[in-house]
Each structure stands twice: as C-alpha cells, then as structure tokens.
Amino acid sequence: MVRTDKHRSGSGGALTVGLIICCIVAFNWADGSGWISHSGKINVKFPKHAWEVGEYITCAAVNLPKTETDLDCSGDPLDSTTIREMDVTLWGQVGDHPVIFKCQRTSESISCHLQ
C-alpha cells in the first residue's frame, strides 16, 4: 500500500495538537509551582516597623476586582499602615484567594517567592 501526503499530514496535525496541550499543561504547572515570574507595579502595604533593604518578610498577595494585585506585608490586614506602589516580581500565580510569599526588599523593588 502506498501512503499519500494526505495520510502523513493528518498524523502530524494530531501530534502538533498533543504537543501544544502538553506545553500548556507544563506551563500551568510551572506557574503554579513558582517557576514563572510576574512583574509589575503593585500596591504594597508595608509593615509598621522599618522594612530594611535585604530583609525578608512574609506577605500575602491577592488579585482584587478592578485593581490588579495587592501585596499585604503588614502582618495585620486591619492595620492602616503605609501603602506604596512599587515594582514587584512575584514568582508564582496569584488568584482570588490570598497566596503567601516570602518577600525581600531591595532599594527600588520587591521580589517574592512562594512560601
């Protein structure tokens, strides 16, 4: 039996679709595991004490309606401390429920990794 180009392209199409699905699943797993970074300007709620450059603090990040992402590093969600818009890199996915990160402050930005 002689194969035609029509038969070969059909199996290649299924292989391509399978490969795309595998890539999407792998990306979602890596993002949920903290292997993918998300950067941008974020409203950061600072702790009462001075957050020194290089110091690590536990923070909670959540997506809020109409306002991108909020990062609460105050340790007390009812406390009205300083809120600043800063460059933040989050290593992990943030959703509608708070996600806990370990964040380090630099002189100009904050970097956070899933805890």
How many domains does the chain contain in total? 2
pLDDT for 101 beyond 90 = yes
Q: Which residues pair with 88 in a beta bridge?
A: 40, 110
> Kindly report the CA angle at 8 between 7 and 12, in degrees rounded to 5?
120
Residues 74 and 100 grouped into a single domain: yes
List of residues 6+ apart from 16 with CB closer than 8 A: none
Residues 11-26: tens digit of each pLDDT: 677 777 776 776 576 5
Residues 29-72: tens digit of each pLDDT: 656 555 677 788 989 999 888 899 999 999 999 886 656 678 99
How many whole angstroms from its chain centre is CA 111? 11
Residues 47 and 97 grouped into a single domain: yes
In angstroms, how far apart are the furthest CA atoms of the chain? 79
Residues 25 and 44 grouped into a single domain: no
